[in-house]
Copies of this chain bind each other. A is one copy, B any other.
Amino acid sequence: MGVTLSRNFGSDNVTPACAPVMAAINAANAGSAGSYGADEFTERLTAVAREVFETDLAIYPVATGTAANSLALSQLAPAFGGIYCHESAHIVTDECGAPEFFTGGAKLLGLPSPDGKIRPAQLEAAIAFATEMGVHHVKPAALSLTQSTEWGTVYSLEELSALTATAKKHGLPIHMDGARFANALVRLGCSPAAATWKSGIDVLSLGATKNGALCAEAVVFFDPALAENFERRRKRAGHLWSKFRYLSCQLLAYLQDGVWLDNARQANAMAARLAQGLAKIGGARPVQPVDANEIFVALPENLVSALERAGFHFYRWPLCSISDGVAIRLVTSYATTAADVDDFLRAAQQFDC
């Protein structure tokens, strides 16, 4: 509690909803609307999403990223299945076993790598092992990758295609955890279609909350046939709102008029500005490339402590393998301003000696 927005580099989820989203909620609050998704906002959302992604699709709004990821995975993997993912994936470490709960006990098979990206050869080897084990092992069932990754990196379209091709060769459908999909998208500079289904993605958890919504994410199936019975899964998980218009209207506002892209561009630009500034700090060494809106950087302990005391909020990140100093994670958001970044950098320079 009590974090000043301008000094927050802890997470993009402590921001308020952006103006277009709040305006949409207020506008939706008039008269009656059909419940459980039988409303005009939800209908329009599907149309807009199809336009944005340039394909037929089925889109299912939910209120949280954990719900989006877990519902998506439960649609792809049976209870006796294995889901290949990065060992540091959010679904592995940060969702208190939600994927296991929703799938009825499927196993997340974590693959290691330093930058959060899964390599095709890793996936290939893991599937080969499972195949040799046969009935004693969980059945290879799905691939889940995160874009942008948990380490702030972004798969290139070539990397994406190579990885999804490996999965598809073995019949595995592919899920993308896109909690920060917009940040990856503006980095790639390609169309939403190119970044997803044209690169082999079957199901996308489309994040919006971190990038300006109040509480809205969506599960997007690029092949509607894959979504059979998905509505029942959402209902029985308690994720079908009765006053559904309030979920759909957020996503409508988010996807229309480029709001999502503008927000993500601002967040990424601020991360780049911050990274450039840090490069001039003597004791700072980058831990990961800065592709989107997250920065992993190693700093001397006394510098980190000084920044904390000065009221800047960010997380120490002990999982980084660094030889000395302290690794921290800095996150920028649509609400971060150039002044916020410059204040941080000024303080860092001042404390660095």
Contact = CB atoms under 8 A, between A and B. Distances in A.
Interface string A13-50: 11111000010011011111111101110010000000
A25 B25 CA distance: 10
A23 to B, nearest CB: 10
A223 to B, nearest CB: 19
Given A35-B11, A243-B209, A79 B101 contact: yes
A101 B98 contact: no
Contacts of A2: 34
Interface in A212-242: 214-215, 229, 231-233, 235-242
Interface residues of A, number: 85
Interface stretch (A61-69, A166-174, A185-193, A342-350): A61-69
B32 A242 contact: no
B237 A98 contact: yes
A266 interface: no
A104 interface: yes
Interface stretch (A133-141, A155-163, A268-276, A286-294): A133-141
Contact of A236 (B36, B96, B243, B247): B96
A323 interface: no
A324 interface: no
A260 to B, nearest CB: 16
Nearest to A319: B129
A135 B16 contact: no
Contact of A98 (B13, B210, B231, B236): B236
A235 to B, nearest CB: 4
Interface centre among A25, A31, A80 (most CB of B within 10 A): A80
A28 B22 CA distance: 11
Counted per complex, copies of this chain come to 4
B242 A13 contact: yes
Interface string A49-65: 00000000000001111
Interface in A236-279: 236-243, 246-247
Interface in A68-107: 68, 70-71, 78-82, 93-98, 100-107
A104 to B, nearest CB: 4
Contact of A35 (B14, B36, B67): B14
Nearest to A313: B32
17 contacts: A1-B39, A4-B31, A14-B32, A14-B34, A17-B243, A66-B236, A71-B238, A93-B133, A96-B139, A96-B232, A97-B105, A98-B235, A98-B236, A100-B107, A132-B318, A135-B240, A139-B229
Interface of A: 1-5, 8, 11, 13-17, 22, 25-26, 28-36, 38-40, 43, 62-68, 70-71, 78-82, 93-98, 100-108, 129, 132-133, 135-139, 209-210, 214-215, 229, 231-233, 235-243, 246-247, 318
